[in-house]
């Protein structure tokens, strides 16, 4: 008679039920809170928040709708499997949301529980429950409410089935603590988005500037560089056996020194319009060719790390300093200077450059002031000396 096989050790053990933390300070939540702090965009924030909530307490699904503009969210997403079906979000957003009552009754609240504001019969009679909650098996719902300047800007919700039961007191305590972390992450991401938009607008302006400008990030990578900077780098490097348009090594070193230890600036208020400190470096051989390196201060704590702005040309002017070359001139001033240095009159220069005679005269006043000269006859000599 064949013997009954002996079961392997552990094969008859029952699966251990999943346990959840009793407080928001549980070590198991630390990695998820760290990921939430590191989120750089809404999608990263969403993934980190869902992972955090999944680790903190049992839920069936999660939904995010933010930020709201004129009561309509511009970013909606959920963990519902059917959210990609055609018409799902149109139906979701067309229903009168039960959350509206919560927002009206608890303005400024951080966490709201839908079932505290609706009786079972009332909730079951809403179109949102019939169209969205009931098909998905939701019965209990909670959410992080997000506000900006007293205005509701969105929420991150979680839902449970009847079997999972309502949110218990200790779970509510956890959610109350986690809400502040999620709200802070939303503010950081919004600050990043605003900073990116401002930087894009700034770069569009800087591209048109006649003066060379380079922006380095905190890892000394060039994140912006206009065409004028290519000319200045080529001019700077040609006497130093460096590649034509590469950033001069002494400028990169100086920028690195400014950024060293710059994390402390995250804890200090901005100083000045652009930021401090500032380093100025002069070319060892070419008189008047200089670069100023500024440390760009973060606009908001933890919103963005410090960057470096390297400026060439006329932005270097300061009281008492008069360069002996044309590197401080704007592109328009340089064109006028070159024509006048060739002996051409103001009217001829104006005609060739398609400028008014008044504009040419204004440029000449600036040119004389910047180059510390008084007569047109001196201009050719100064330009020649600066081009050596």
Question: pLDDT tens for residues 225-265?
Answer: 887 788 788 878 775 544 445 788 888 888 888 877 565 55
* 228, 182: one domain: no
* 45, 136: one domain: yes
pLDDT reported for residue 242: 44
pLDDT reported for residue 213: 82
* 84, 147: one domain: yes
**Whether the Cβ atoms of residue 222 and residue 214 lie closer than 8 Å to each other:** yes
Give the dihedral of Cα atoms 363, 368, 374, 375; nearest 10 deg.
Answer: -50
Residue 82 maps to which CATH number? 3.30.450.40
8 within some domain: no
Q: Rounded to 5, what percent of the chain is helix, strand, coil?
A: 45, 15, 40
Q: What is the pLDDT along the chain (388 residues), one digit of tens a residue?
A: 444 444 444 444 444 567 888 888 889 999 999 999 988 888 888 999 999 999 998 888 888 776 654 455 667 888 888 777 787 777 777 777 788 888 888 888 999 998 999 898 998 888 888 888 888 888 998 989 888 888 888 889 899 999 999 999 999 999 999 999 999 998 888 887 777 777 677 666 666 666 678 888 878 888 788 877 887 888 787 755 444 457 888 888 888 888 775 655 544 544 444 345 678 888 877 766 788 888 776 544 344 566 778 887 543 443 443 444 444 567 778 888 888 888 889 989 988 888 888 888 888 888 887 777 777 877 877 776 554 4
Question: pLDDT tens for residues 95-127?
Answer: 777 888 888 888 889 999 989 998 989 988 888
2 within some domain: no
5 within some domain: no
14 within some domain: no
Query: Would the CA dihedral through 74, 75, 76, 82 be positive or negative?
Result: positive
* 41, 189: one domain: yes
21 within some domain: no
Domain boundary among 258, 285, 316: 316
22 within some domain: no
pLDDT reported for residue 210: 63
* 69, 106: one domain: yes
Which domain covers residue 95, as residue numbers? 27-193
Query: Would the CA dihedral through 56, 57, 63, 64 be positive or negative?
Result: negative
51 within some domain: yes
pLDDT reported for residue 239: 56
Question: pLDDT tens for residues 135-146?
Answer: 888 899 898 988
pLDDT reported for residue 12: 41
Q: What are the C-alpha distances in Å from 178 to residues 156, 170, 331?
A: 12, 13, 55
* 91, 150: one domain: yes
* 337, 261: one domain: no
18 within some domain: no
pLDDT reported for residue 129: 86
Choose among 183, 167, 288: nearest CA to 235: 288
Q: Domain count of the chain?
A: 3
* 62, 174: one domain: yes
Residue 331 maps to which CATH number? 1.10.10.10
Residue 220 maps to which CATH number? 3.30.450
* 170, 215: one domain: no
* 177, 227: one domain: no
* 81, 101: one domain: yes
* 339, 272: one domain: no
CA distance 121 to 47: 34
Domain boundary among 264, 288, 316: 316
Domain boundary among 292, 316, 340: 316
């Amino acid at each position: 008679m064949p013997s009954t096989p002996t079961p392997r050790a552990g094969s008859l053990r029952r699966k251990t039920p999943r346990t959840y933390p009793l407080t928001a300070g549980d070590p198991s939540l630390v990695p998820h809170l760290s990921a939430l702090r590191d989120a750089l965009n809404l999608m990263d924030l969403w993934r980190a928040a869902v992972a955090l909530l999944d680790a903190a307490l049992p839920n069936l699904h999660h939904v995010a709708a933010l930020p709201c503009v004129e009561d309509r969210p511009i970013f909606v997403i959920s963990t519902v499997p059917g959210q990609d079906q055609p018409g799902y979000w149109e139906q979701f957003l067309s229903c009168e949301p039960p959350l509206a009552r919560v927002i009206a009754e608890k303005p400024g609240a951080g966490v709201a529980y839908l079932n505290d504001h609706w009786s079972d019969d009332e909730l079951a009679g809403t179109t949102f429950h019939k169209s969205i909650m009931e098909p998905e098996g939701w019965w209990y719902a909670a959410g992080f409410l997000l506000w900006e300047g007293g205005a509701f800007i969105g929420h991150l919700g979680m839902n449970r089935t009847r079997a999972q039961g309502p949110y218990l007191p200790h779970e509510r305590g956890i959610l109350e603590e986690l809400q502040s972390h999620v709200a802070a992450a939303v503010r950081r991401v919004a600050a990043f988005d605003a900073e990116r938009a401002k930087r894009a607008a700034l770069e569009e302006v800087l591209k048109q500037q006649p003066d060379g400008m380079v922006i380095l990030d905190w890892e000394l990578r060039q994140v912006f560089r206009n065409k004028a900077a290519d000319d200045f780098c080529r001019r700077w490097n040609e006497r130093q056996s460096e590649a034509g348009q590469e950033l001069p090594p002494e400028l990169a070193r100086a920028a690195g020194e400014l950024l060293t230890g710059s994390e402390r600036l995250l804890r200090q208020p901005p100083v000045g319009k652009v930021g401090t400190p500032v380093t100025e470096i002069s070319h060892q051989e070419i008189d008047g060719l200089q670069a100023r390196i500024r440390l760009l201060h973060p606009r908001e704590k933890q919103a963005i790390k410090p960057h470096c702005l390297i400026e060439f040309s006329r932005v270097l002017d300061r009281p008492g300093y008069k360069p002996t070359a044309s590197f401080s001139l704007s592109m328009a001033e340089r064109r006028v200077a070159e024509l006048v240095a060739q002996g051409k009159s103001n009217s001829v220069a104006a005609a060739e450059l398609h400028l008014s005679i008044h504009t040419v005269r204004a440029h000449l006043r600036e040119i004389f002031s910047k180059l510390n000269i008084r007569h047109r006859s001196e201009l050719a000599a100064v330009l020649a000396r600066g081009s050596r």
